[in-house]
């Protein structure tokens, strides 16, 4: 994309791809050297307001160098495609390490941790290559933008968008806050925790959890083979969802038909399940089991906090019932701001809510309690640099549309 015929005249690049590759390699090795010296401590990016100051100074440096020394061979090389390509390959190789090795904590004296291969994306190597890449990208952007030409618009949008998204995403990361707020039904809280440090922080508002509710898909039943510790696949290849009248067959084993289904029930005085309201009950189903002619009727159940699951044998297998996967989980909350203003909201996955510069997400619940959970885990996220990153994203997409258009036009001309 960089080689458009509209490029501004620059100085002749003194060196080609080999020198660029060597330069990139030196940057990577220097990064590893820094990691060894700091025992894999990684890079600490500047915090507010220094991140903004660094970004402005870096941008100004690129602009000054790009405009004032554009005809110097060294500068032409620094902003040229060979170096850009080498740095792209460098970024890809470092990402490859980060994409193959688990990015987990390791004993600090292990070689992987000493080189920070287990924390690649906050390592010196990655930071140095990214910095040089941003410098190279920035120079080429300056040359294509000044003087302005409409023909260079696609280049400016795509490369400029990438520069903004990458630089603001990285420098803004120090201000990104992601906190977990545990909420219990019937209680209010303004205490949030850092996931890693478990440090408690008070939010500028409080959240009262009125109700936590889980909607589930229908319970499923399955045939368990204890000898091989596996589930036997039904003839239909369909995970059988329980519902009145559902019949499932297993080749050479038999079939099960659901005669009755009670989504919420408790055993009655004579042991027969009786439907009950609300969260107290568990799912029961009366099934007819046909083991190749030998017919019987039994109750099966998924069980719950107070009741053991009911599973029944069919030959050497067992018919078991499992709760359906969560379809939706949501928290009905009341948010109270610093001035006492109150707001009712529903938090749900994929539907975050804004409050005082924070975004609140429905993150989780007590999975061991399943639909009986009275705990809701909410994530509170604040990312002041997000608008800048989004500007970058939308510029990339606009550049992309032009690129697509140009590509199709060229293809038609081919």
Partner 1 sequence: MTLVEFPAIAFAAAACWAAGSLLQIPARNSKAAGSFSWLFMLSGTLVLVWFLTSFWIALERPPLRTLGETRLWYATLIPVVGFLVEYRYRIGWLKYYCMGLATVFLGINYLHPDVFEKALMPALQSPWFVPHVVVYLVGYVLLAASAVSGWHNVMLDFRGKRSAKGEAMSHYLALLGFVLLTFGLIFGALWAKEAWGHYWTWDPKETWAFISWLAYLGYLHLVALKTDPRKLQWYLGLSFFVLLVCWFGVNYLPSAQNSVHTYSG
- Site residues, partner 1 (CB under 8 A): 1-3, 17, 81-82, 84-85, 88-89, 91-92, 95-96, 98-104, 121, 169, 176, 178, 217, 220, 233-239, 241, 324-329, 348-352, 359, 361, 363, 379, 381, 383, 386, 389, 393, 396-397, 400, 403-404, 407-408, 410-411, 414
Give the Cα separation of 300 and 312 in Å (integer). Answer: 7
Shortest distance in whole angstroms from residue 327 CB to partner 1: 7
Q: Which is nearer to partner 1, 47 or 96 (CB)?
A: 96
Tokens 């209010």 sit on residue = 188
Q: Which is nearer to partner 1, 111 or 407 (CB)?
A: 407
Of 141, 155, 10, which Cα lies nearest the Cα of 63? Answer: 141
Residue 392 vs residues 54, 98, 178, 218, 409: alpha-carbon distances, Å: 18, 24, 22, 43, 26
Tokens 């968008």 sit on residue = 161
Q: Which is nearer to partner 1, 169 or 313 (CB)?
A: 169
Return all residues near 294 (Cβ < 8 A) that are at least 6 apart.
none
Shortest distance in whole angstroms from residue 60 CB to partner 1: 26
Shortest distance in whole angstroms from residue 139 CB to partner 1: 15
Contact 46, 58 (CB under 8 A): no
Shortest distance in whole angstroms from residue 393 CB to partner 1: 5
Rg (CA), the chain: 30
Contact 52, 112 (CB under 8 A): no
Q: Which is nearer to partner 1, 34 or 380 (CB)?
A: 380
Shortest distance in whole angstroms from residue 237 CB to partner 1: 5
Shortest distance in whole angstroms from residue 4 CB to partner 1: 8
Shortest distance in whole angstroms from residue 400 CB to partner 1: 5
User: DSSP assignment of 26-39, as one string?
Assistant: HHHHHHHHHHHHTT
β-strands 177-184, 312-314: how paired?
Answer: unpaired
Q: Which is nearer to partner 1, 313 or 326 (CB)?
A: 326
Give the Cα separation of 319 and 403 in Å (integer). Answer: 57
DSSP 250: E
Q: Which is nearer to partner 1, 294 or 405 (CB)?
A: 405
Shortest distance in whole angstroms from residue 70 CB to partner 1: 18
Give the Cα separation of 181 and 358 in Å (integer). Answer: 12
First CA to last CA distance, the chain: 18
Give the Cα separation of 291 and 319 in Å (integer). Answer: 12
Give the Cα separation of 182 and 363 in Å (integer). Answer: 10
Shortest distance in whole angstroms from residue 318 CB to partner 1: 18
Q: Which is nearer to partner 1, 80 or 303 (CB)?
A: 80
Q: Which is nearer to partner 1, 223 or 299 (CB)?
A: 223
Contact 194, 179 (CB under 8 A): yes
Q: Which is nearer to partner 1, 270 or 350 (CB)?
A: 350
């Amino acid at each position: 994309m960089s080689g458009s015929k509209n490029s501004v005249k620059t100085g002749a690049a003194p060196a080609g791809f080999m020198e660029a590759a060597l330069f990139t390699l030196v940057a990577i090795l220097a990064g590893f050297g820094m990691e060894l010296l700091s025992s894999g401590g990684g890079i600490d990016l500047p915090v507010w307001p220094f991140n903004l100051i660094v970004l402005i100074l870096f941008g100004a440096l690129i602009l000054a160098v790009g405009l004032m020394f554009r005809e110097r061979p060294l500068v032409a090389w620094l902003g040229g495609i060979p170096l850009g390509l080498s740095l792209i390959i460098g970024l890809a190789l470092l990402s490859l390490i980060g994409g193959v090795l688990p990015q987990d904590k390791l004993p600090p004296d292990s070689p992987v941790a000493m080189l920070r291969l287990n924390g690649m994306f906050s390592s010196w190597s990655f930071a140095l290559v990214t910095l040089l890449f941003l410098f190279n990208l920035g120079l080429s952007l300056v040359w294509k933008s000044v003087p302005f030409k409409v023909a260079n618009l696609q280049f400016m949008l795509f490369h400029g968008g990438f520069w903004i998204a990458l630089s603001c995403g990285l420098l803004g990361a120090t201000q990104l806050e992601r906190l977990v707020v545990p909420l219990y039904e019937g209680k209010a809280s303004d205490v949030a925790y850092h996931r890693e440090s478990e440090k408690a922080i008070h939010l500028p508002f409080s959240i009262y959890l009125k109700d936590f509710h889980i909607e589930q898909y229908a319970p499923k039943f399955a045939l368990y083979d204890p000898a091989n510790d596996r589930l036997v696949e039904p003839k239909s290849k369909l995970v059988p969802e329980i519902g009145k009248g559902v019949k499932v067959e297993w080749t050479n084993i038999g079939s099960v038909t659901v005669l009755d289904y009670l989504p919420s029930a408790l055993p009655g005085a004579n042991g027969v399940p009786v439907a009950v309201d609300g969260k107290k009950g568990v799912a029961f189903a009366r099934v007819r089991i046909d083991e190749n002619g030998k017919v019987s009727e039994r109750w099966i159940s998924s069980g719950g906090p107070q009741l053991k699951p009911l599973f029944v044998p069919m030959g050497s297998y067992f018919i078991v019932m499992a709760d359906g996967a969560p379809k939706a989980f949501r928290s009905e909350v009341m948010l109270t701001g610093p001035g006492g203003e109150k707001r009712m909201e529903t938090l749900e996955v994929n539907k975050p809510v804004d409050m005082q510069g924070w975004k609140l997400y429905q993150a989780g619940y007590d999975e061991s309690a399943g639909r009986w959970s009275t705990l809701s885990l909410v994530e509170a996220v604040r990312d002041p640099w997000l608008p800048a990153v989004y500007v970058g994203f939308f510029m990339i997409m606009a550049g992309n549309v032009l690129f697509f258009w140009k590509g199709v036009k060229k293809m038609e001309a081919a």
